[in-house]
Amino acid sequence: MNDFFKRFLEQIKTLWGKWSWNQRLILIGISALVVVGIVVMTVVSAQPSRVALIGVPIKDPNAFSAITAKLDEQNIEYTTTPDGKIYVANNKTARRARAMLFQYDLIPHGIDPWSVFDTQSWTTTDFERDINKQRALTKALEEHIDSIDGIESSSIQLAIPKDSLFKEDQKPVTASVRITPAPGSDITTNRRKIEGIVKLITFAVEGLKPDNVVITDDTGVQLNDFANSAGVDRLDLGKREMEFKHRMEIQYTDTILSALQSIYTPDRVRVVKLDLTLNTDKETSDVETHTPIIMQPANPDLHEPAQVVPSITLSESNRNVDFQGTGFNPEGPPGQEGQTPPAYKDLSNLVGKYTDKSTIQNNVVNTTKDKIEKSPVSIAKVSIGVAIDGTWHKVYNPKTGQLETEPNGSIKRVYTPVSASDLRKAQALLQAAVGYDAARGDLVTVETLPFDRTKQFEKEDADYRAQQNLQRTLMVVIIGLVVLLVAFVVFRLISREMERRRRLREEELSRQHQAMREAALRSAEEEGVDVEMSVAERARLELQETAINMAREHPADVAQLIRTWLAEE
């Protein structure tokens, strides 16, 4: 193997040396093109495959914008090409997007259904081609219907008859569809979704009319029988009208409560009943108005009024006839007696005269024709009843300022109803808030009623009793503490007094002993007898003499020292 590569390299070197520069450049260019081609193929093959949403370009810019806007609304990722094609991520997304476009009737007109489903036939005989076409079409339709939200599974049967020579003998194309709704789905009651499925099938099957499509659920109930669903539509319309009425009543109630609760407290206002009678009839009327013709408009700068005329004469015809004579009185053949009554014979020779004048004018005026459509929803009548509670006042004793209580211990209260003038003002306020109109029979009633506040009063009474009990308990505790404090102070005073008296007795005894000792010493000194004193007695005598001398020299300091001793004791 190594020898082979060596010989191959030697041959290449030999050929490279024999080639001219032009040949070498051509070889380098071909090699570079091959490498670039391999890189491009690798990059293209590495990109994710995209699926065309519609197999043909969309030339209509309005339809293209509507489709892309709906895809953005449904959060479906897509890419577009300059020639008008739309690509999505995979086949599942494409089927769901196509079903959505059929549902909202966004498939452009003139698009071949086969380009939508992208089914192709590969067969050799017409019979096999027809069978494969029908199978492919059925499968594509089932996949599209299964991709619709709310449908768990579907089954489609197409009946495509053979082409007949005469049109009157041609049998129609029919389709039967059975769908299984997903749990919690509204597909069986959503008419728009059912119509979208019908359009999807009729657009896909050539020659299929919507009347020849039957859609049933898994229980066999036909879902696209819109001709017999007028009663259901009326019920649905009535349901929507009741929901709208309920929302309007809530809105009116909130308006009334916000208006009255800002004046009175929130717990004093109750809307007993609010009933709106709605008129959902759609009325259309044609109005023709004739106005004068303005010959010259008004000029505000010159203060000139507008010049108007009632009408303009387009044409005029005058007729003037004058006659005088006896006129013509036929009497039959000559020689025969006439049958003219005698009364007319007397008038036959009289001379008559008359004049006929008439004028016919063709006048025109300004004519305005308006077609007025009144709103399908209007308020025909408003009935409202509002109750306002009065005020409860607690009764206080004018002398003590304390709350008065009933015999059972509850707080004594007095009820004051709302005055008649305040009720009239509240009624006028409500009438302005709801657009009161007496001509249509509106009824607004405002009354004052005492609300049941038993639980509120029971809670207040319980809190009051608890407060009173707490006050009494605190008073007893405070009195007990005061008694203990007084007893302690008295005990301390008595103890100090007893201690003072004991100390005084001891001091008195000590003075007596000292006096007796001093007297004994003096008597001994007078008698000339040496008396020996102990060290303690001698120190005591010296301290006593020092204190006496200090008291004589500094009486103020000694007095302050004695006060300090007494205060400490």
Predicted local confidence at residue 475, as pLDDT: 92
- DSSP states along 340-409: --HHHHTTTT--EEEEEEEEEEEEE-EEEEEEEE--S-EEEEEEEEEEE--EEEE-B-TTT-PBPB-TTS
Q: Give the mean pLDDT of 331-351.
A: 63
Per-residue pLDDT at 241 exceeds 70: yes
Q: Give the mean pLDDT of 407-427.
A: 84
CA-based angle 524:528:529, to the nearest 5?
Answer: 60
Length of the chain: 569
Q: How confident is the model at residue 528 (pLDDT cuts 50, 70, 90)?
A: low
Domain 122-228 fold is GMP Synthetase; Chain A, domain 3 (3.30.300)
Q: Give the mean pLDDT of 35-45.
A: 72
Q: How confident is the model at residue 123 (pLDDT cuts 50, 70, 90)?
A: very low
pLDDT in tens, 145-182: 888 888 888 888 888 888 776 777 778 889 999 998 88
Q: How confident is the model at residue 364 (pLDDT cuts 50, 70, 90)?
A: confident
Residue 91: CB atoms within 10 A of its CB come to: 13
Calculate what percentage of the chain has a pLDDT beyond 70. 81
Place of tokens 């007109």: 109
Give the C-alpha separation, 270 to 258, whole Å: 11
- Between 68-72, 254-258, 371-375, 507-511, the lowest mean confidence (pLDDT) is in 371-375
In sequence order, which residues have a C-beta less than 8 Å from that of residue 557 and are 6 or more positions away? 550
- Between 211-220, 327-336, 428-437, 493-502, the lowest mean confidence (pLDDT) is in 327-336
Q: 78: buried, middle or exposed (CB in 10 Å: 19+, 13-18, 0-12)?
A: middle
Strand blocks (E) in 132-268: 151-159, 173-181, 208-216
Per-residue pLDDT at 15 exceeds 80: no
Q: Give the mean pLDDT of 428-451.
A: 82
Contact status, residue 414 vs residue 384, Cβ threshold 8 Å: no
Mean pLDDT, the chain, as a whole number? 78
Contact status, residue 217 vs residue 223, Cβ threshold 8 Å: yes
pTM of the predicted protein model: 0.39
